[in-house]
Amino acid sequence: MRRFILYSRTGKTAPFNGSLLEAGRLDVIHQCIISAMFLSHSIRRDVEFHVFLYGSPNPPLHIIIDGSSLYDVRTDEATWNKILNEILSGHPHQGIFMRKEGIENYVETLKKIFVLNEKGKDIKEFERKDLDDASFIIGDQVGLPIKFEKFVRRLGANELSLGKKRYLASSVINIINYSLDRLMV
């Protein structure tokens, strides 16, 4: 199992009209969901995707996508505009749930937490046992708040490096998924 945890500073926390972009950059969340959950014509059943929304008017909210039970989804933006609106209206979708919860409460319950840091240990140097059942915490387009980064460091989070480039959050998830795929075989 692998778990991606996204911190969204701006994602709307109520039903919205208009585009995902206009709803506090929920378009970034959509891109991350595609990278985390989808293979070609199949869903990654061993992945959980968590996003914590800190935008107005009702933060924080925790949305959970559980690959083991996710059904009836496609990769396009309109599909996820509809689903995220339904979830934010309190109507769950198969494999997608919402809780009224902040990220600190949730992350405290996890073991094997990883955060990105260019100067951390290179993802190429990890072995399978290090990354099995790991949780990867990822910032949105702005990055993680410093206060929260300090919090996860106090919890003993491991620092993971993907090299010198700074990638989009959705690319980070793709790279981690791929790196783990290659370790697991």
Contact residues: its own copies, CB under 8 A: 19-21, 27-28, 31, 34-35, 38-42, 75-78, 124, 141, 162-171, 174-175, 177-178, 181-182, 185
Q: How far is the CB of 31 from its own copies (least distance, A)?
A: 7
Give the integer Cα–Cα distance in Å for 36 and 22.
Answer: 22
Q: Specify the residue, 117 or 171, whose C-beta has the smaller distance to its own copies.
A: 171
Q: Specify the residue, 27 or 48, whose C-beta has the smaller distance to its own copies.
A: 27
Give the integer Cα–Cα distance in Å for 27 and 115.
Answer: 22
Q: How far is the CB of 27 from its own copies (least distance, A)?
A: 4
Q: Specify the residue, 108 or 168, whose C-beta has the smaller distance to its own copies.
A: 168
Q: Specify the residue, 124 or 150, whose C-beta has the smaller distance to its own copies.
A: 124
């697991």: which residue's tokens?
Answer: 184
Residue 62: partners with Cβ closer than 8 Å, 6 or more residues away = 50, 51, 52, 53, 98, 99, 100, 101, 102, 103, 106
Q: Specify the residue, 82 or 100, whose C-beta has the smaller distance to its own copies.
A: 82
Q: How far is the CB of 166 from its own copies (least distance, A)?
A: 4
Q: How far is the CB of 108 from its own copies (least distance, A)?
A: 28
Q: What tokens appear for 118 in the block?
A: 């260019």
Please, how many CA atoms are within 13 Å of residue 148, restricted to the half-sphere of its CB?
20
* DSSP 8-state code for residue 157: P
Pairing of strands 61-66, 96-99: antiparallel
Instruction: Count helices and strands (H / E) in the chain.
Output: 6, 9
Q: How far is the CB of 76 from its own copies (least distance, A)?
A: 4
